[in-house]
Chain A
């Protein structure tokens, strides 16, 4: 099974083994992301959720195993071609130089443009649509440093939408967002992924958010162990309590699973 290339998959890891500073993050991970699928990465602080996402971005290399993007080894992609397929929302954004909201979103078009090429009206339309989707179209000409934390996070998501990647990697997408915007942003990304046949993989500490929006869950247990499967398989009281070293209860409410610490 494993040796055949499944070109329908957006992302595939084969026996991926990772560690950071001598601590194992995952051993022999075989993660598949199919078009239209959302995968959640859960785990205690410091279990390596971000490191795993950064490895999928090829910011660092794996100890063992292979990562394939659209059936092609990750390190066979050029940095620029990779950026047209893979996009990431970072945990925090940096803006040292002054810039407007629209200018910032337009940065997402960078990998799609040739050398010497300028953004055209179509690129600007893509950026404006993304700003509108995140409800910040009215801020297009505002300075980024006048935005609130939540507005900046929505701008970061809009920039990612402007990039139009095939696989969205999200590192704590709920950061700085109040509960309404968390749900709204993820609903939007989720329906975008379904419509476009794209893929989504998000690392989060919010079990309820993952349960609501993800089809499959990768639960990192620390020391290289993990549980991978559907929400029903992975998000059990037993697994979660072990992963977070804290007793976690699961109840059904209005047809949805809700998790909370005991």
Chain B
């Protein structure tokens, strides 16, 4: 049974999301504030303001929202799949593969969409490698998958360092921005929005099975869940969501780790509530973080990954303290 408290949470998050979009639309280095944005929506007028709003701000806000939503959903799935509350979307080495491919593209002097395509391809490559290695003994344990992922990540890390130390100075700057996660040139197109919607539908279909799976593989099998099939679906869904997020904005930390925990503490444990809530809060969090990133030291911009960490670290520590208290009580 859905509890009233959980409906309230979802409605609040939805309202917060609308507000978040408005705040995000009104943040930037040019003088286009909250009031002007509302005015622009109510009575559209042609001109520079409209151009800034529709060609710069809205696409960037949408990119931030979609990326955050993809990462938070992927984080929820990874934590159940790996039975590890510290799992995040990057834990299985997906970001490493994406980074190596993206950095290679940068060092070759490619720009714009090529970097996104390269990142997506690199992420897929990493998914196949990790899955192939972890699966080889037909033993599909979370530990084996986790260890394989961590080792493959370490391998990618070494390649990233090689690329950073051997590339020309001017491209190293773009590489570092990419690695920290950056939304300044990001656009979320039809493809990534479709992936987000498809991911949401798939996970909502399996949401009740996820509740059962978080009680352990055997318990889930005893309650009628086809565990190997479900795990395969979870692995591929989480991987594709992450690959898509990484191809939009590079590696942005903390969203995928912190958002699911925050929501569980707010009472969203049922995955049928947790998954849509993670989508909304994750998208919102990244959109607000990105608003900070482009206004704090405007006209210069910070990489958004730095901002999510600056917000994410203290929030996570507070949550940890809070849960510690709850357990002791």
Which A residues fall within an 8 A CB radius of B?
Answer: 57, 59, 79-84, 86-88, 90, 93-100, 103-104, 107-108, 110-111, 113, 115-116, 118-121, 123-124, 143, 145-146, 163
Contact = CB atoms under 8 A, between A and B. Distances in A.
B211 to A, nearest CB: 6
Interface in B43-99: 79-80, 83-85
B219 interface: yes
Interface stretch (B34-42, B175-183, B223-231): B223-231
Contact of B224 (A84, A121, A124): A84
Contacts of A98: 264, 269
A108 B223 contact: yes
A241 B270 CA distance: 50
A124 B3 CA distance: 12
A110 B223 contact: yes
A79 B216 CA distance: 16
Contacts of A123: 1
Contact of B216 (A83, A93, A111): A93
A79 B218 contact: no
Contact of B212 (A88, A110, A124): A110
A193 B270 CA distance: 31
Contacts of A121: 1
B326 A103 contact: no
Given A90-B218, A107-B211, A97 B225 contact: no
Contact of A113 (B84, B208, B329): B208
Contacts of A83: 222-224
Nearest to A117: B208
Given A83-B224, A90-B219, A97 B80 contact: yes
Contacts of A124: 1
Interface of B: 1-2, 79-80, 83-85, 205, 208-209, 211-212, 214-216, 218-219, 221-226, 264, 269-270, 272, 326-327, 329
A80 B205 contact: no
A96 B218 contact: no
A84 B224 CA distance: 8
B215 A94 contact: yes
Given A90-B218, A94-B219, A110-B212, A146 B226 contact: no
Contacts of A111: 223-224
A118 B2 contact: yes
A118 B204 CA distance: 12
B215 A120 contact: no
Given A116-B205, A124-B1, A107 B215 contact: yes
A88 B1 contact: no
Given A90-B219, A116-B205, A118-B1, A103 B224 contact: no
Contact of B85 (A96, A113, A120): A96
Contacts of B209: 110
Contacts of B79: 97
Given A90-B222, A119-B1, A121-B1, 10 more contacts: A57-B221, A79-B221, A94-B219, A96-B85, A107-B215, A107-B223, A110-B225, A118-B272, A145-B327, A146-B327
Nearest to A108: B223
B327 A79 contact: no
Contacts of A119: 1
A120 B1 CA distance: 6
Chain A CB count within 10 A is highest, among B2, B83, B221, B225, for B221
A115 B208 CA distance: 9
B224 A82 contact: yes
30 contacts: A79-B224, A79-B225, A83-B222, A86-B222, A87-B222, A93-B219, A94-B215, A94-B216, A94-B219, A96-B83, A96-B214, A97-B85, A97-B264, A97-B269, A100-B269, A103-B269, A107-B212, A107-B219, A110-B208, A110-B212, A110-B223, A111-B223, A111-B224, A116-B205, A119-B1, A120-B1, A121-B1, A123-B1, A143-B326, A163-B223
B215 A95 contact: yes
Contacts of A116: 205
Contacts of B327: 143, 145-146
A82 to B, nearest CB: 7
Nearest to A112: B224
A95 B326 CA distance: 16
A93 B215 contact: yes
Contacts of B222: 57, 83, 86-88, 90
A110 B223 CA distance: 7
Nearest to B84: A96
B231 to A, nearest CB: 14
A97 B213 CA distance: 10
A79 B209 CA distance: 13
A252 to B, nearest CB: 39
A59 B226 CA distance: 11
A87 B221 CA distance: 10
A121 B269 CA distance: 19
